[in-house]
Structure 1
Amino acid sequence: MTDLQSSYAVSMPPAVLRVVENRLLSWLPPGRVRVSANAPGLKRGLRAAGVEVVESGESLACVLVVEDGREDAEAAVLSQIVQAAGDHLCLVITGHKLDQSRRVFWERAMQRAEWRKHPRTEAVAPYGELDRVAGVLVLAFEPVRAAALERYPLEVLESERDLHTDMTREAGRRSDAHMARYAQASQFIRDGDRVIDVACGLGYGTAQLARNSRASSLIGLDASEYAVDYANTNFSDVASIALNFRVGDAQNLGDMADGSADFAVSVETLEHLPQPELLLAELGRVLVSGGLLYASVPNDWSDETGEDPNPFHFHVYDWQRLVDQFRCSGFVIEKAWLQDAGGGQKRHLSTRSMLEFDPQSGPMTDGEWLLVLARRSEQDSTNVEDPLRIAKEQLASGSRSEAILLLDSLTQDRSHAHPLLPCIAHATLAVIHARAGEATRAADAWLQCAERGRPMLEERGLRSAASALIALSYDAMQDESRPLADLLANHHAAARMLALDVPGSVSDELSDRAVVYGLSAESGGVNLSHEQIRQTMEAKSWLDAKYKEHVMKITEMELYVTELEHARHWLDGQYHSLTDQVRQLRLAGNA
C-alpha cells in the first residue's frame, strides 16, 4: 500500500500543531500509524513522541490532514479512505473559516461513507471544547461492519430515529452530548469491574464503556428486541472483552443475582419509567455494597403546565427530586454535573459544556441535564420495592393470607418513601380478590385505589403514574365482567407497578413509553390507541420539520454573530493602531 498522497501541503501554526499532536497521542492505539504526506510537521512530531509512523504497508490507524474550503477536499478524503487500512481513522481539518457547521458537514460525509464516530472520540475532541474552534477540527471514526451495514443501513436508522438512535451514526450536538456521558462514566469504572448498562438502547454507549475502561464484563439490557439485535450486530465484538446484550426490563432485573455488578450506568432512563423507584431498588439489589451508579435525567423540561411535553417522559425531574429519590433508594450522590448541548427545547443557544457542582449545595445555575455518580450505601437499607417484592414472593409460594395481611398494612402506610405505595397496594389487593371471585372486596379495593391516587395528581412528577393506576381502577369498576388478563394488558404501565406476575404483555414496543394515561371528565380515564399514537408521531414529524427550519435560521444568525466578532476584532486592531500613531505624533510634536 502506497503513501497517502495529497496534491497540496497543509501548514499548521506551531500552537495548533502541538494541540493536534497531544490529542492524537492520547487517542492512537499502539501500533503502526500512517499519516498523509501533506503534513510533514505532524509526522515529525509524532515520531519524536515515539509513534511508529510508516510511509506504506499495513497500519492499525490512519491520520488524514485536510484543508477545509477547497473544492476537492471531500473528494480527496473519500478517495484516500479507500487506501486507509485499519479500524481507526482520524481527520484533522484545518482552515481559517472553520466553525461548528463544518464539523457537522464532515461527520455526515464520513457517515455517508459508512464510517461512524469512534468510541474514543472524547480523546481527540473533548466535549467542553467543541464550541471553541480555533483553526482546526479533529474528528475520529471507525468503519461500520459489513454485516451491520447490510441489515441496518443509514436509511433504516433514519426511519427508526424517533424511538432508537445510534449516536455514533448521528451528527451534531445531541449526539455529542449522549456520547460525552458514556465517555465520562467510563472514567469511574475501576479495573475488573462488572458493569451493567440498563436501557442501553442500540448499544453504542455500552461499546464506549468497554473501549474506554478495563471492565471485566459488560451487560447491556434493553426492553426492545430491535435495539438488542442492533447492538449485538454492531457492537458485540468490538472490544477485547465480550459485550452481552440481552432483552430485559429496567424495573425488574430478576435474572441478575444480588451483588452481581460493581458499576451500573443508566442514562436518560428514569424519566421514561412509570415507577423509576423500582429501577433504583433493583440496582440497589444487584450492585455490591459500595457499588457505583452513573445516571442522567433531563433537568426540569417542564412547560407552563408543569409537565414534560415529551410524550415518552412520565416524570419531570429537578435536583431536589433526584436527590430525594436516590436517598430513599439507598444511594448517596458523590459527584454531580450540569450538561448543556444547545439546539434543543431548553437553553437552545447554549454552548456544549459539563459543569461540575457540589452535590451538598446543589446547582447554582441552570442546565439541560443533571448527571450524577452515586454510591450504594454500605449498609443495607429497606427500599420502596422490598415490601411489594415480599408480597409477590408470598403470592408465588401460595401464602395468600400472609400477602393480603402485608398489603393491608401497606395501604395504611403514610410514612413510606414512595407516596404511591398505598395506591399500588390497593390495586394489588383488588386483583387478588377479583381472581378469587370476591367481587365486593375487589370493587372496594379499586375504589380505594382511585381515591388514594387522586391527591397524587397534584404532585409534580407523580401525575402520570397516579393517573395510570386511577385509569385501571375506573375501567375495572365500570366493567366487572371484563377478563382480568385483558384489563391488565390494556393498562400495562399500571399493571407493571403491582406486586403480581402479570400474564401477557403489550406486544407493541411503543406501549411502555408512548401510551400516556390521563383523566377525562366523562370516564375518569383514557389511554392512547395505536391510531392515536400514529397521529401523535405524525404531529411530531411536523414539529421536527418546523424545529429544523428554525434551527437553520438560528445557524444563519450564529454565522452573522461570527462575522460581527471578526469585524469587532478588526475595529479593535484599527483603534489600537490609530492610538499608537497618535501617541507617536504627540511624541514627535513634543520633541
Structure 2
Amino acid sequence: MLTVDFDRLGVVEGSSVIDVGCGAGRHSFEAFRRGADVVAFDQDAAELNNVDAILQAMQDQGEAPASAKAEAVKGDALDLPYGDGAFDFVIASEILEHVPQDDRAIAELVRVLKPGGRLAVTVPRWLPEKVCWLLSDEYHANEGGHIRIYHADQLRDKITARGLRFDHQHHAHALHAPFWWLKCAVGVDKPDHPAVTAYHRMLVWDMMSRPWLTRHAESVLNPLIGKSVALYFEKPAA
C-alpha cells in the first residue's frame, strides 16, 4: 500500500533514493523494483532486518533490475550520515508526526537532496487525525506515537522555507480513515473486536484484489477523508 505516487515523484532506473523512516519498507521496495539504488533508513533495527531480508529476496528472485542496489541502514533522521546532495530522491512517509524536532529533520531531508532532486513527504491528514485524537488518547499518547497534527499548508511552508519549490499535493487511503476511527472508538487495544476484524478483512481484500468499485470509491473519497496527505517538492538546480 503506497502513499507516495512514484510516477509523479519520477523515480527511474539508476536514480538514488533514500527512504527516511522506512518502517516496514513499502516505499523502499517500490523504488528498488523500479531500478533505483535504494537506502532504506530507519532507527528500528528489528524492522530493518525484515526490510533487508525482503530486499535480498527481491534481488535473488529478479524482482529488481540487476543494476539496482539496495541496503538497509540504521540511524537517526536528525543526523543523516550522508553528504550534502547525496540523493536524487528523498522520501519521508508518515514519520514527521513522530519527531519532536521536526524542523531539524526537515533540514536534513533537504540537505541530502541533490539540486534538481525531488522530495516526497506524507503525514496523517488533519481532519481524520483529529477525529482519532478526539476518540482515543491511546491512539497517540504512547512512546513513539504521534506528537502533532499537521495542517498541510503548515508543513508545506516549513519545507519551502528551506528553499524547496512545492509542486503538488494529493490525499490517499480514504478507506483507511474509518478503520482507524472504528479502532479508536472501540479501543486501540482491542484488535480482535468483531467490527475491527471485519473491516480489516475488507481492507486486506481490497489491497489484494483491487476491485473497481472500491478503487473508484476511494478516489472519490480521498479529497474528503483521505487518511494521509502527500506533498511533493523540487530542489532548485541553481
**The residue matched to 1:227 in structure 2 has which SS?**
helix
Compute the TM-score of the two structures, normalised by the length of structure 2. Answer: 0.70
Deviation per CA, 1:94-114: give whole Å up to 9, x if none: xxxxxxxxxxxxxxxxxxxxx
Q: Which amino acid aligns with 1:185?
A: F
Partner of 2:52: 232
Partner of 2:31: 209
**The residue matched to 2:73 in structure 1 has which SS?**
strand
Partner of 2:71: 244
Partner of 1:190: 12
Residue 186 of structure 1: CA displacement?
5.3
User: Which of 146, 168, 180 is the equivalent residue of 1:335?
Assistant: 168
Compute the TM-score of the two structures, normalised by the length of structure 1. Answer: 0.30
Deviation per CA, 1:318-340: give whole Å up to 9, x if none: 12212221222222221110121
Matching of residue 376 in structure 1 with residue 206 in structure 2: no
Deviation per CA, 1:43-90: give whole Å up to 9, x if none: xxxxxxxxxxxxxxxxxxxxxxxxxxxxxxxxxxxxxxxxxxxxxxxx
The separation in 1 between residues aligned to 2:181 and 2:96, in whole angstroms, is: 19
Partner of 1:200: 22
User: Which of 114, 134, 142 is the equivalent residue of 1:288?
Assistant: 114
> Contact between 2:156 and 2:231, CA under 8 Å: does it hold in 1?
no
RMSD: 2.8
Residue 207 of structure 1: CA displacement?
1.3
> Contact between 1:338 and 1:355, CA under 8 Å: does it hold in 2?
no
Aligned residues: 189
**The residue matched to 1:293 in structure 2 has which SS?**
strand
Name stretches of at least 5 consecutive residues in structure 2 with no aligned partner.
Answer: 59-63, 184-198, 200-213
The separation in 1 between residues aligned to 2:21 and 2:229, in whole angstroms, is: 17
Deviation per CA, 1:249-307: give whole Å up to 9, x if none: 11110x201111000111101101111111211121111112101121101112459x9
Structure of greater Rg: 1
> Contact between 1:347 and 1:368, CA under 8 Å: does it hold in 2?
no
User: Which of 22, 38, 48 is the equivalent residue of 1:218?
Assistant: 38
The separation in 2 between residues aligned to 1:263 and 1:347, in whole angstroms, is: 35
Name stretches of at least 5 consecutive residues in structure 1 with no aligned partner.
Answer: 1-178, 357-362, 380-591
Higher relative contact order, structure no. (Cα contacts within 8 Å, ≥ 6 residues apart): 2
**The residue matched to 1:323 in structure 2 has which SS?**
helix
The separation in 2 between residues aligned to 1:266 and 1:232, in whole angstroms, is: 18
User: Which of 71, 74, 85 is the equivalent residue of 1:259?
Assistant: 85
The separation in 2 between residues aligned to 1:355 and 1:319, in whole angstroms, is: 18
Alignment CA distance shift 1:206-1:281 (3 Å): same
Which is richer in strand?
2
> Contact between 1:347 and 1:367, CA under 8 Å: does it hold in 2?
no
The separation in 1 between residues aligned to 2:233 and 2:94, in whole angstroms, is: 15
Residue 205 of structure 1: CA displacement?
2.6
The separation in 1 between residues aligned to 2:221 and 2:167, in whole angstroms, is: 15
> Contact between 2:2 and 2:27, CA under 8 Å: does it hold in 1?
no
Matching of residue 315 in structure 1 with residue 145 in structure 2: no
Residue 180 of structure 1: CA displacement?
2.8
Aligned-pair identity (%): 25
The separation in 2 between residues aligned to 1:194 and 1:322, in whole angstroms, is: 25
Deviation per CA, 1:152-182: give whole Å up to 9, x if none: xxxxxxxxxxxxxxxxxxxxxxxxxxx2325
User: Which of 221, 226, 230 is the equivalent residue of 1:367?
Assistant: 226
The separation in 2 between residues aligned to 1:288 and 1:354, in whole angstroms, is: 35
> Contact between 2:118 and 2:232, CA under 8 Å: does it hold in 1?
yes
> Contact between 1:236 and 1:245, CA under 8 Å: does it hold in 2?
no
The separation in 2 between residues aligned to 1:291 and 1:267, in whole angstroms, is: 17
The separation in 2 between residues aligned to 1:284 and 1:346, in whole angstroms, is: 33
